[in-house]
Structure 1
Amino acid sequence: MHLDREAIVRLDKQYVWHPYTAMRRYIDEVDPLVIDRAEGARLYDVDGKSYLDGNSSWWVSTLGHNHPRLVEALRRQASKLCHTSLAGVTHEPAAALAEALVAVAPRPLSRVFYSDNGSTANEVAIKLSLQYFRNVGQPARKRFVALEGAFHGETMGVTSLCGVEVFRRPFAGAVMECLFVPPPPAGEAHTAGHEVAFGALAEVLEQGRGEIAAVVLEPLVQGSIGMRMYDPELLRRARALCDAHDVLLVIDEVFTGYGRAGGMWACASAGVTPDIMTVGKGFTGGVLPMAATLTTDRIFDAFLPPENTFYYGHSFCGNPLGAAIAREVLAVFEEEQLLAQAAPKMARIAQAFSDLGQIPGVSNARALGMIGALDLRPGAGYLGDLGWRAYAEARRLGAYLRPLGDVVYIAPPLTIPDDDLTELLDIVRRSVQFALGAA
């Protein structure tokens, strides 16, 4: 059965509950994109119109849509084994992927626990942190530290770490306590503002001595709060402070990993190795939902006695299809020298957003790796509508440019063709000018 556009939208509005969507407004007012297929950096709707995917479909399609090597890896694996549990069972894709992950991960990360998505990867990290300290005789360590504006996923545990008030507010009182500290302000290092941020983290860890299990950080850029970028010195200070207070450092590379922030891992770019690192989104190149949590032998060894077993897992933990694709993603990065190939694109994004910063009404234009972002002023933050004006104009011009409130940003595939990147950057400029009334 092949449905036309009208039928798809009718069924959608009758039955589907969309994420991060005011549904009354959506049902009454929104004419949604109806996507039929995708290839490379482009989405194609049911009428055949193409849209440049400005955010890699929520940051997952790092290699572009339907990358031929990933599709072929899926086909090969599906012909042999689609699924088996990982309970008392193993298989080549899971074992080989773990070896490949450890090979590219910051040392001394050496163990891999699989899960379904970035949120559950961070849920694993939280539970590992809590049980680790119970296993080693420090059960009082039950508290966590995160940055103001932090976002680490949707499940209940990681909602505790959410510093975006509009996301956390509905669940207040039902989540664990988390201590929030300010990130360093944008700008040059060693300013007074930076020292305030570093001092706040040091003070929280000192006051919580013996009670804090882990500091959890998005490295270098906080995505969901509005692509807030900060100085890497915070990661280095956090590592030193965690060591001094015997606190675990958890680095959430779900968004920033796999080249999004420039290097393979944002934390490694800052010269920092965490005790626990989480990966997702680009992990399978947007083909299947799968993620992983990597730890050191120090943490793993604390779970080896039978009485310390980690009783946690998912039905699709280590799914063979996802594992085969994730291994192929790493092969593409290595064999096609993807980071080197993307470096000129990163430079173009940085220059383009620097130029966009000269437009009246634009503030805090910034870039890091394959991310470019700017703020529209005056604005109302995450709930502002200026970014949505830019979104509507970008859609008309042929790009999917979903904003973060009044923050307009791009995070395109690392493989976006040069001509497509030129077109995308032009659409961003024209859309921003339109939103600000400067067209």
Structure 2
Amino acid sequence: MQRYIDEVDPLCVERAAGARFFDVDGRSYLDANSSWWVSTLGHNHPRLVEALARQAGRLCHVSLAGVTHEGAAKLGEELVAIAPPGLVKVFYSDDGSTAVEVALKLALQMWQNEGRPQRRRFVALDGAFHGETIGAASLGGVEVFRRPFAGVLMECIHVPPPEGDAPEDAGYARAFEALEKLLAEGSDTIAAVVLEPLVQGAAGMRMYDAAYLRHARALCDRYDVLLVIDEVFTGYGRTGAMWASTRAGVAPDLMCLAKGFSGGMFPMAATLATGRVFDAFLGAPERAFYYGHSFCGNPLGAAIAREVLAIFREEEIVAKVQPKAARITKAFAAMREIPGVVRSRSLGMIGALDLSKGAAYLGELGWKVYVEARKRGAYLRPLGDVVYVAPPLTIPDDELETLLGIVEESVRAALG
């Protein structure tokens, strides 16, 4: 924090539109990470702005406590209609951390209601990031985020993520074996396996093959453990499909949604559940899920979230991502040849470069690229020594070309 106070000159943003925001001096910047992955449809999408204004003129807030409203009900129907098979119930919250927190509490109480209260542990991948509330932080495998709170976190067992270029590689075999051994020996104390599907975002855009997700689903079925899929980052088209889990042909027991859920316009999130999970809370009053936020399912957020889904349908957002994703893949593959780049990879609308072995989260190389990119008109926030892009899915082709050019120039300049 002291270094930030002493050295950092923050961007002071006045307005934003599309893939750009503008500072108080009138300079524009391409937003290379969709403002921490939320502005999937770009900034201030006119249809979302209109939906917000229209709803604000009718109903801004009502609690979902013995009350409902049309927006929340219809949004739930629309989510279930496009969700992976079996997810039939929706619980609203306000951001990615709380969407994950909801999933953890549902898992813990479900097992308690079913007479197996000893199922209190969770399983996540090394390098995992699932949010910043205490429950979500318990799953975290990024040590710098987890360490200050280690003494109060829930028990989570971290297993190695799959490593290598293909499921046949030894790194995948080790990951498969570690997860299977853990569930075979300890499933009677495990509430759920929680995974970021196909991409571990905050870990440095680590990407893995869909085979691991299918393996995890099969093991959870075999040992009767819940599978929680955290689509907070990967959902809403980021990987080239509406849901990353769909790319693997996997349906979870619980799915967490946020970020693109409201297109960066409003704090809003949801956790989707199967009928089996929901049914565990029926019966006596003490079996109920006593949890909820004041703004759960609020009318403003629901109106925006429904308009996001309408835009995805009517403007065929996912289909239009494909050529843009191909361009990102080509550009990042070529950048692998820049002297000093250790590794490159891409998936959907994500491209990433490692600038050091291990790509340390607190590394400095990525921040040198950030400085160079800012000079050239792009906001390119790194993950330590990992430089990546995750631009709005709607970024115009010419601006995508400009952004990719800035990335290449900035990496070359920073690495000398």
Same fold (TM over 0.5): yes
Distance change (3 Å), C-alpha of 1:379 and 1:210: closer
Deviations 1:190-223 (A, max 9, x none): 1121111000000111121210010000000000
CA distance in 2 between counterparts of 1:258 and 1:326 reads 11
User: C-alpha displacement at 1:26, in angstroms?
Assistant: 1.5
CA distance in 2 between counterparts of 1:239 and 1:189 reads 16
CA distance in 1 between counterparts of 2:9 and 2:86 reads 50
The residue type paired with residue 417 of structure 1 is P
The residue type paired with residue 96 of structure 1 is K
The residue type paired with residue 434 of structure 1 is A
Q: Which residue of 2 aligns with 1:389?
A: 368
CA distance in 1 between counterparts of 2:259 and 2:249 reads 23
User: C-alpha displacement at 1:76, in angstroms?
Assistant: 0.5
Q: Which residue of 2 aligns with 1:335?
A: 314
Given candidates 160, 179, 182, the residue that maps to 2:138 is 160
Single out whichever of 228-237 and 372-381 deviates more from structure 2.
372-381
The residue type paired with residue 203 of structure 1 is K
Deviations 1:230-268 (A, max 9, x none): 111111010010011110000000000000011000001
Runs in 1 of length 4+ with deviation above 3 angstroms? none
Any residues of structure 2 matched to 1:13-412 within 5 Å, and which? 23-305=1-283, 306-377=285-356, 381-412=360-391
CA distance in 1 between counterparts of 2:218 and 2:289 reads 28
Confirm or deny: 8 A CA contact 1:278 1:294 kept in the other structure.
Answer: yes
User: C-alpha displacement at 1:377, in angstroms?
Assistant: 2.6
User: C-alpha displacement at 1:364, in angstroms?
Assistant: 1.8
CA distance in 1 between counterparts of 2:363 and 2:170 reads 30
Number of residue equivalences? 415
Single out whichever of 352-361 and 35-44 deviates more from structure 2.
352-361
Single out whichever of 367-376 and 303-312 deviates more from structure 2.
303-312
SS where residue 14 of structure 2 aligns?
Answer: strand
Deviations 1:272-311 (A, max 9, x none): 0000000000000000011000001111011111331000
Q: Which residue of 2 aligns with 1:7?
A: none
Deviations 1:131-161 (A, max 9, x none): 0001111111000000000000000011110
CA distance in 2 between counterparts of 1:385 and 1:29 reads 14
Deviations 1:340-392 (A, max 9, x none): 11110000000000000111111220000000001013676100000000000
User: C-alpha displacement at 1:435, in angstroms?
Assistant: 1.2
CA distance in 1 between counterparts of 2:40 and 2:198 reads 18
User: C-alpha displacement at 1:81, in angstroms?
Assistant: 0.6
Equivalent pairs: percent with the same residue?
A: 70
Q: Which sections of structure 1, spanning at least 5 residues, go unmatched?
A: 1-22
The residue type paired with residue 264 of structure 1 is M
The residue type paired with residue 276 of structure 2 is R
Deviations 1:303-356 (A, max 9, x none): 111331000000100010000000000000001111111110000000000000
Deviations 1:391-415 (A, max 9, x none): 0000000000000000000000000
TM-score w.r.t. the length of structure 1 is 0.94
Confirm or deny: 8 A CA contact 2:342 2:357 kept in the other structure.
Answer: no
CA distance in 2 between counterparts of 1:379 and 1:295 reads 36
Confirm or deny: 8 A CA contact 1:115 1:314 kept in the other structure.
Answer: yes
CA distance in 1 between counterparts of 2:355 and 2:410 reads 11
Confirm or deny: 8 A CA contact 1:361 1:378 kept in the other structure.
Answer: no
User: C-alpha displacement at 1:186, in angstroms?
Assistant: 3.2
CA distance in 1 between counterparts of 2:71 and 2:340 reads 50
1:414 aligns with 2:393: yes
Q: Which sections of structure 2, spanning at least 5 residues, go unmatched?
A: none
CA distance in 2 between counterparts of 1:209 and 1:298 reads 18
Confirm or deny: 8 A CA contact 1:145 1:178 kept in the other structure.
Answer: yes
Deviations 1:1-60 (A, max 9, x none): xxxxxxxxxxxxxxxxxxxxxx21121111110000000000100011000000000000
